Amino acid sequence: MKVLVYILFLCSVHGLHDDEIGKYDWKKEFVGNADHVEFESSVSVSKYLFVASRLNALACLNSRTGEIIWRKILGEAEGKFVGIKHTKEGLLTVTSSGVARLWETNSGSLKWEAVVGATPNITITSFMMIERNYNVGNLLVATSDNGVHTMAMLSNNPRGETLTLDVATDKKISIDTTMGNIIVLEAEPTKLSATIVDGGNVESYREVVVADGWGGGVAQLIILETNQLVYLDDGSLYLVDLTLGATKATLRLDEVGINEVEKLIPINDDEVSTRGGWFVLQHEGGNVVFMEVGDAGIKITWRKTFPNLFDVQFKRLSSETFLFVTTNNGSELKTIAIDAKTGLIDETSMIRFNLNNDDGKVDKIFINMFLKRSTPLGFRLLLQCEDGSLTLVVNPNREVWRRQESLAEVVGVVMIDLPLSGAGLEFEGGGAERNVVADMFVKRIKAQSQQLLSWVQQTLKEIEAGTLFKHKTRDPLIQVEGLTRDPFSLHKMIVVVTRSGVVFGIDSLTGDIVWRHFIVGLDRSLTWKYDFYVQRTTAHFPHPPLVALLALASNQPAQPVLVTFNPITGDFNEHSATKPIKQTMILPTPDVDHLRHLLFLHQDDSLTLFPPTHGGSMTSLKLFFYDVIDGWVVGYAVNSDITIKQTWKFKIPSTHHVISMLGKNMLEKVDSVGRPLADRSVIFKYLNPNLVAMVAGSVDDAVDRANLLLIVFDGVTGKVVYTNTHKKASGPVHIVHSENWIIYSYWNTKARRTELTSIELYEGKSQHNKTTFSSFHLQANPMVMQQSYIFPTGISCMGVSHTDKAITARQILFGLKRGALFGLPRRFFDPRRPLVLEESHREEGLIQYMPEIPIPPELFVSYNLSVEMINGIYSSPAALESTSLVFVTGIDIFFTRIQPSKMFDVLKEDFDHMFISLVLIGMFVAALVARRMSQIKQLKKSWR
């Protein structure tokens, strides 16, 4: 009970005041790369635009501004979105796991959800909808890998039926609304058969073999109105009556000048009854042929040639049918609308859009057609580019808005201090060339007088403008405008790299994008891993800050891409490709230009430096890596002539594979080498900077046999310091490793809950060596303390706070699966927490052991905000010892600052400076007056 009260008391100070919300934190929401886009189906230009992304997010955007109106995120187990469809009732979505949902369009609230197809473990591949009257509800038709599923979408009771068909992998489904039929076409290697299913009771009532001995796929056929089907075989088009299976007409394509057919495009994607007798054939050389099917067979209505043809789409609105043809010559995208029946081009509504080399190629085009009063039609384009941006373009060439959706998939972050202001720079620059003391003194005086002068000028200007006492930024602690460092270094440049290979510079004060760079040299078909290396910080004026970004293709022997850039201005330099890289290291000691070099270990075990020359010795550098394929962990030492030799290796048992591995930050600061105990003796921490924690999971993942193996080893000598096995446990594993402690989370398969284990390593009551640490020193294995806890909610990511001098207590940060950032003081994970709390423990600040970790709502760093799908927590120290800056990535990006031990070095914002100074001045004046009065009184007294 006491402990509970204690904890409550402890936690209550961490909360946030109402007026502090949004003062120093910000959050940006994203959707991710769009897989499916649906415009609100209305005749006139509509406000809503629906996007389903590859990150399983469904969002409604305002099509005029690009802002998110609402957004819903589905869990990973749901599978991907198969499609979205805007209906009169709302937005209909189906996921590949077979869950159909209907969302309210205005608010995004869920109207109903139901499972399509009662059989488990199916994968839905496509769906469409047959409109029916209100009493029976619209019919949802979905195909899966084992059949066709239908569901009557009655708003109060959606219910479904399943028809299992023989599994054919190549399958196409169309619906005939007027007849209420579902037409399933299956292409087998030797034949094409059609099954016509009655939508009402899901019974197949006719099966027809359409073409025997046909080897094409379903992409090479089109169903038209009144059960007609056109398929392509051996350079000829065949027209077939579906109900009979008889060929009605053929057209040899080479007779009409068509040699190689690229695509057959139906007027409407899934509905047969609105297609009429028309379709479009796209063939080589950018030719588009509009074809009509009639009694006289297949005939060509019109044909046009478009050089650099990129995309052809049909759009239908009421009685109008238009063909949208997009051409792309690399620098300009041009979309024109052609009246389908007449083949007339409407020149007024053409859209031309200049493409930036900086956006990558255009991936997808989504067209929204609407009717206008003045002209016959209008349309808008939504472009999904390779860099993840989503752009809405309107006639004639205006970009309405652009969303940088690649920020939903940030994979690397580094936070850089901003440079000092102009006057400060000069002063700092004085230190660069150390000449004579007198000279330096003069320089310093000059610089400081200049600073004073500029300050006076600034203040005068502010007084003139009347802004002297006003807050210059929304953050009360940052009162320096622009991209210059504030005294507390709270304002930083956040540099992020996203999965699609775009580097952004983000202002940490506002969250605005300062610069953006698209890495050109990446092959976008591969998956890339990115690593930042801060080679030079902003502290070395006049040398510019420099960050290196290394992109490596994962699992492919592709050339790595190395770029260096100035993180403040975003000036990029691309470097020539190097040999494939196995391991990299940033050197701990900078050279004379304050630049930290990079060391690359290549696949052929050779070493190179970047930049190539470095004066210092490199014999203190060691490298190690784990080879996923053969399970060896191999360590290397660097020789003085920049070659390597293998020094040690050990094998992970073949029953296990390494899930996660984490060393300590190189050059990590540790404030205290030991820990005082209640009897005032010291227990010294085992501060081996080369320690690596590795968690391996068993290959056998059965619930009662799965286990986890923790190996803590020295990366220099390969000596295993500690091992531990968790039975009935499996990944995902998240590790935090700092100073002398390791905290990792895993899944307990038996109890079905998330657990955490905390490990602390100590040398004991005496210190082995007070001045230096070498892994080669002969030293006994450290004492290990260990405790495990139950974490009551799912963890998606773990991190730890970093402060300037590491004096402040650490805070362990958790990205929760429920969409929040949660921070707990590290003492909750102190393995010395006693079972029975005694006075001496209390003196040390230990809390009684409880297996459950509490989740008090005051400790949510993200307070009431939802920060969804957190996959990275990055922290950076400010110049204020109490404060750590935290940047969280996921589908949202969130930035805030935390004070793990409260803000002990800055006065609270509500501190009344005016009152205090008034009181002080008042007291001073009162003292003066009283002194004078007493003097007078004294004089009078002595005169009496």
List interacting residues with other proteins (CB under 8 A): 529, 552, 581-588, 599, 620-628, 635, 658, 661, 663, 666, 669-670, 672-674, 676-677, 680-682, 687, 689-690, 692, 715-716, 769-776
Q: Which is nearer to other proteins, 776 or 943 (CB)?
A: 776
Q: What is the nearest approach in angstroms of other proteins to the Cβ of residue 404?
A: 28
Q: What is the nearest approach in angstroms of other proteins to the Cβ of residue 807?
A: 9
Q: Which is nearer to other proteins, 152 or 691 (CB)?
A: 691
Q: What is the nearest approach in angstroms of other proteins to the Cβ of residue 219?
A: 39
Cβ atoms of residues 761 and 674 within 8 Å: no
Q: What is the nearest approach in angstroms of other proteins to the Cβ of residue 767?
A: 8
Joined together, the tokens standing for residue 186 give 């299956």
CA atoms of 145 and 164, how far apart (whole Å) = 10
Q: What is the nearest approach in angstroms of other proteins to the Cβ of residue 716?
A: 5
Q: What is the nearest approach in angstroms of other proteins to the Cβ of residue 837?
A: 19
Q: Which residue has the tokens 């599994």?
A: 167
Q: What is the nearest approach in angstroms of other proteins to the Cβ of residue 662?
A: 8
Residues 6+ apart with CB under 8 A from 574: 519, 520, 521, 561, 562, 563
Q: Which is nearer to other proteins, 686 or 747 (CB)?
A: 686
Q: Which is nearer to other proteins, 401 or 625 (CB)?
A: 625
H/E stretch holding 2: helix 2-12
Q: Which is nearer to other proteins, 275 or 596 (CB)?
A: 596
Q: Which is nearer to other proteins, 29 or 714 (CB)?
A: 714
Q: Which is nearer to other proteins, 364 or 827 (CB)?
A: 827
Cβ atoms of residues 601 and 583 within 8 Å: yes
Q: What is the nearest approach in angstroms of other proteins to the Cβ of residue 551?
A: 11
CA atoms of 619 and 637, how far apart (whole Å) = 7
DSSP letter at 706 equals -
Joined together, the tokens standing for residue 595 give 């630049």
Q: Which is nearer to other proteins, 542 or 611 (CB)?
A: 611
Q: Which is nearer to other proteins, 49 or 806 (CB)?
A: 806
- Tell me if the bond preceding 732 is cis, omega within 30° of 0: yes
CA atoms of 883 and 477, how far apart (whole Å) = 12
Q: Which is nearer to other proteins, 140 or 658 (CB)?
A: 658
Phi and psi of 777, rounded to 5°?
-60, 140
Q: Which residue has the tokens 């955007």?
A: 61
Q: Is 271 helix (H, G, I), strand (E, B) or coil?
A: strand
Q: Which is nearer to other proteins, 178 or 672 (CB)?
A: 672
Q: What is the nearest approach in angstroms of other proteins to the Cβ of residue 628?
A: 7
198 CB burial (10 A radius; 0-12, 13-18, 19+): middle
Q: What is the nearest approach in angstroms of other proteins to the Cβ of residue 802?
A: 16
Sheet strands (E) in 318-361 = 320-328, 332-339, 345-354
* Single-letter residue type at 560: P
The neighbouring-strand residues paired with 917 are none
Q: What is the nearest approach in angstroms of other proteins to the Cβ of residue 666?
A: 6
- The alpha helices in 18-92, defined as continuous H runs, are none
**Residue 238, CB half-sphere, CA atoms under 13 Å: how many?**
19
Joined together, the tokens standing for residue 89 give 């009732």
CA distances, 27 to each of 30, 75, 217, 490 (Å): 10, 21, 47, 17
Between vectors from CA 826 to CA 682 and to CA 486, what angle results, nearest 5°? 105
CA atoms of 337 and 313, how far apart (whole Å) = 10
Q: What is the nearest approach in angstroms of other proteins to the Cβ of residue 651?
A: 14
Q: Which is nearer to other proteins, 32 or 635 (CB)?
A: 635
Residues 6+ apart with CB under 8 A from 319: none
* Single-letter residue type at 908: K
CA atoms of 360 and 428, how far apart (whole Å) = 40
Neighbour count for residue 752 (Cβ, 10 Å): 8
878 CB burial (10 A radius; 0-12, 13-18, 19+): buried
Q: What is the nearest approach in angstroms of other proteins to the Cβ of residue 798?
A: 17
Q: What is the nearest approach in angstroms of other proteins to the Cβ of residue 880?
A: 20
CA atoms of 162 and 118, how far apart (whole Å) = 7
Q: Which is nearer to other proteins, 132 or 582 (CB)?
A: 582
- The alpha helices in 432-492, defined as continuous H runs, are 437-465
Q: Which is nearer to other proteins, 773 or 924 (CB)?
A: 773
Q: Which is nearer to other proteins, 251 or 522 (CB)?
A: 522
Q: What is the nearest approach in angstroms of other proteins to the Cβ of residue 725?
A: 22
Q: Which residue has the tokens 């949660």?
A: 822
Beta strand pairing call for 872-877 and 287-294: unpaired
Q: Which is nearer to other proteins, 771 or 942 (CB)?
A: 771
Q: Which is nearer to other proteins, 735 or 816 (CB)?
A: 735
Q: Which is nearer to other proteins, 190 or 769 (CB)?
A: 769
H/E stretch holding 884: strand 884-889
Q: What is the nearest approach in angstroms of other proteins to the Cβ of residue 14?
A: 26
H/E stretch holding 931: helix 913-943
CA distances, 515 to each of 361, 495, 501, 511, 572 (Å): 20, 9, 14, 12, 11
Q: What is the nearest approach in angstroms of other proteins to the Cβ of residue 441?
A: 31
CA-CA-CA-CA torsion sign (837, 838, 839, 844): negative
Across 157-189, b (16+ Cβ under 10 Å) vs e yields ebebbbbebeebeebbbbbbbebbbbbbbbbee
Q: What is the nearest approach in angstroms of other proteins to the Cβ of residue 627?
A: 5
